[in-house]
Chains A and B, each alone.
Chain A
Amino acid sequence: DAGITQSPRYKITETGRQVTLMCHQTWSHSYMFWYRQDLGHGLRLIYYSAAADITDKGEVPDGYVVSRSKTENFPLTLESATRSQTSVYFCASSESASGGGTQFFGPGTRLTVL
C-alpha cells in the first residue's frame, strides 16, 4: 500500500529556474492539496484540486502552477524559483472535503533555492 508519495525528497535549485515537485496517490482520492511549511507559519495551502482538471488557489498561490490531468497525480511547478520559495512542501489527499475530510500527507519535499 504505497499511499501518497512525493518526489524528489530533496531538491536544490537556483533562482530563476523552473522546478516541478511531483505527488502521486494510490487511493483514488478526489481531493489533493499542496502546502508549504515554514517556521512560524505552520502549514499554508498553496493550491488544491477537487478532481481531475479542477484546481483552485489556496492562501499562498503566487509563483506556483498546478495541473491535474489524472486523479492520482498533482504536480506543483515553480515557474521561476525565488529564494522566498525555499521551504518544505507537502502534498496531501482526501476522499472528501465535506465537513473537512481527513487529509493524508506525503513525506514532503525539502526545496532550497540558492
Chain B
Amino acid sequence: GENVEQHPSTLSVQEGDSAVIKCTYSDSASNYFPWYKQELGKGPQLIIDIRSNVGEKKDQRIAVTLNKTAKHFSLHITETQPEDSAVYFCAASWEGNTGFQKLVFGTGTRLLVSP
C-alpha cells in the first residue's frame, strides 16, 4: 500500500524565519496531496492541497511544491508567526484495489515558532 514519510518530526524556528516540511510517498498513482494543521486539542484542519497535475501552489505565506518524479512534496511557510506553532500533517491519496481513494497520513511535524 501507500506509505508516506514526513520529516522533520520537530522543527523550531524564530519568528519571521521560513519553515520547510518534507514528505515522500511510495505509490506513483497517488494524485492528491493535502496538508493539515492541528492545534492543541483540536482536529486537523486543511490548510492547502495540491493535485498531481500542478507543480506548485501558493496561498499567502503558505506554499506547497510537488515533484512527481521524485515522489516528494513539501510545505513552505514564510514569515512565520507564533500562531503558526502547531502539528502539521501531510497526506497522499491512495486507491489500492478498492477503487476508493483513501488518505494516508505522514507522522506529523511539530512546528514551534519562537517570538
Contacts and interface: CB of A to CB of B under 8 A. Distances in A.
Do these two chains interact?
A: yes
Interface of A: 40-45, 48, 50, 56, 58-59, 90, 92, 97-108
A50 B100 contact: yes
Nearest to A99: B32
A42 B43 contact: no
Contact of A108 (B34, B42, B106): B42
Contacts of B49: 102
A100 B34 contact: yes
B103 interface: yes
Interface size class of B (residues with CB under 8 A): 20 to 34
Contacts of B98: 56
Nearest to A41: B107
Contacts of A98: 101
B43 A108 contact: yes
Contacts of A105: 36, 43-45
B46 A103 contact: yes
18 contacts: A42-B106, A42-B107, A42-B108, A45-B102, A58-B102, A90-B43, A90-B44, A97-B101, A98-B101, A99-B101, A101-B101, A102-B34, A103-B34, A105-B45, A106-B43, A107-B41, A107-B42, A108-B41
